Amino acid sequence: MAGEQTSVTIEDAALDTAASALIDELVAGSVASKLGAQDPTLWGADAESEAAIRLSWTTLHKSSRPLIGEIEALRTDLRSEGIDRIVLAGMGGSSLAPEVITGTESVALTVLDTTDPGQVADALAGDLERTVLVVSSKSGTTVETDSHRRIFAKAFADAGIDAASRIVVVTDPGSPLAELGESEGYRKVFLADPNVGGRYSALTAFGLVPAGLAGADVARLLDQAAVVADSLTADSVENPALRLAAALGAAHAGGAEKVVLADTGSGIAGLGDWAEQLIAESTGKHGIGLLPVVVEDSAAPGFRDAGADATPVAVGPADFGAKIAVTGPLGAQFLLWESAVAIAGRLLGIDPFNQPDVEAAKKAARSLLDDPAALSGSAEPSAVIGAVEVFAGAGTTAEGALADVLREFLGTAPEHGYLAVQAYLDRLDDASAALLRPELAKRAGLETTFGWGPRFLHSTGQYHKGGHPNGIFLQITGTPEHDLEVPERPYTLGQLQRAQALGDGQVLADAGRPVLRLHLTDRAAGLSELMRAVQELTS
Ligand SMILES: O=P(O)(O)OC[C@H]1O[C@](O)(CO)[C@@H](O)[C@@H]1O
């Protein structure tokens, strides 16, 4: 596999000079060895109590070993019963790592990190006789994951299958889900290390159980992490974590807060999607932070043409345009990025282990679910253009054709701002929505991110509200063809999806961020109309 050697190279001379000074400071302050010793004082007094219960990830390559046998034993049992289809319900840190691990090994795993009724219905339509559902939630209270559990439990029962025997839980000790797992007699409850936060949990049960059950070689991941572990806690200018942290910190200090991630042949499938949560949720707070911008490849808009506000990073060998290149196998890259982001947090002066702004959107969604009138959309669209209903935010008028609406909206971006495209759609059936990112980036001249809602709410969502206040937000929602009941809950999945979009939109608007919502009354037709309108914009 390409990139077996773990390394961080700083390709840009000016950035290298700025980073070198920071690396020297970090070495002089013994920051790496203190991280290795799990010293909670590294991020200042305010962060100390949180850090004290968040640092066990530095030794997971050793402490997670006993899990391997447990996972293998359960996999063998399930296979002997003809159960070989793994569906994972989990948001953010509870699904991103297993998705990358299984994608890298080309092992099948159905990930549910959506409230889209169509996408969940498609997962339900798979062969339930052969299915086990892994319900992963550290807190045990995440509404999306709880909804998936309810929907699948009912579907198993309706199919005459004993649901308890088909549900495996991964959660923290003492969580409501741990208790439920025991009281319902679920197949197995894996209790994860509670001293590791969600986005640092790739090498805990959260990453390893679903991936291992699906057939990935999870022991090899721990081996890969073990190979680099000592180098990441060495007080040395060669330490790759210090180099990456210093480069990101120096870039941020120089006004390049956007981190544009492109795969350049790492052999890893989608590391950027995992790193996105780690970087955005860890650093995007108190009005600063690093904004991850995951692009299709190094030729995509936003990478080689990045402006002074962005740092192009190659995941894999250095490529033309990259200012930083990070190589190494997946297990090593997990530990490297976790260490680097934690240390970058110290350089930025923030607590990398909390996510203070995520709760606001969850609260707004909850209150909308309690207010059916607001949720059913009593608000009239500002305009209806073909299959697209336009809900213009404050400061925009929604006049003219769709291209005019978009042009006016893009004009609200501040200099060196960014555009976030947030698609609350089915990421399989409506996959073409992702093509909007490069098309918009090219024409808007802005670093442009793309996220599937509500998945991104557990990732870049923290940055959108808590990071640099220079984003503009294009929400895309769509009428689902069929809705799905959530058993014993007063809302459907479609209503939950809508509440999440409207709730987050409200929080962003209240914070003074420009928000434009385009609702597709016919998803396929609406997406093509939208793409046509984007292509009418001049670059
Ligand atoms: O594992 P949980 O508790 O379900 O949380 C899922 C995700 O939600 C977040 O708390 C943010 O909403 C993430 O930090 C976390 O990875």
Predicted confidence at residue 539, as pLDDT, reads 61
If one compares 372 and 247, the residue with the highest pLDDT of the two is: 247
Portions of the chain given CATH number 3.40.50.10490: 7-37+237-348, 59-221, 358-536
Res. 360 pLDDT band, cuts 50 70 90: confident
* 22 CA → ligand 1 middle, Å: 32
DSSP 49: H
The atom of ligand 1 lying closest to the CA of 457 is 12
- Counting ligand 1 atoms within 8 A of each CB, the residue from 54, 57, 91 with the most, and so the one to mutate, is 91
CA of 456 to the centre of ligand 1 (A): 11
Q: What is the 3-state secondary structure (H, E, C) of 130-148?
A: HEEEEEEECCCCCHHHHHH
Which residue's CA lies nearest to atom 10 of ligand 1? 458
Amino acid at 468: H
How far does residue 249's CA lie from ligand 1's centre (Å)? 25
DSSP H helices in 193-291 = 205-214, 218-232, 240-253, 271-283
Pocket of ligand 1 (CB under 6 A): 91-94, 137-139, 142, 145, 198-199, 281, 355, 358, 458
Are the CB atoms for 194 and 139 separated by under 8 Å? Answer: no
CATH fold for domain 59-221: Rossmann fold (3.40.50)
CA distances to 231, 385, 388 from 526, rounded to whole Å, are: 51, 9, 6
4 or 211, which is more confident:
211
pLDDT score of 211: 98
pLDDT of 266 higher than 80: yes
Output the average pLDDT for the chain: 96
CA of 146 to the centre of ligand 1 (A): 12
CATH class of 358-536: alpha beta
Ligand 1, from 88, 113, 138, 193: best to mutate by most atoms within 8 Å of Cβ?
138
Residue 365, pLDDT above cutoff 90: no
**Threshold 0.95, pTM exceeds:** yes
Q: Which of 3.20.20.80, 1.10.287.3510, 3.30.56.10, 3.40.50.10490 is the CATH number of 7-37+237-348?
A: 3.40.50.10490
User: What is the interface pTM, i.e. ipTM, of the complex?
Assistant: 0.98
Nearest protein Cα to ligand 1, atom 4: 137
Angle at 434 between CA 433 and CA 437, to 5 degrees: 110
pLDDT value at 2 more than 50: no
Atom index in ligand 1 nearest the CA of residue 145 equals: 4
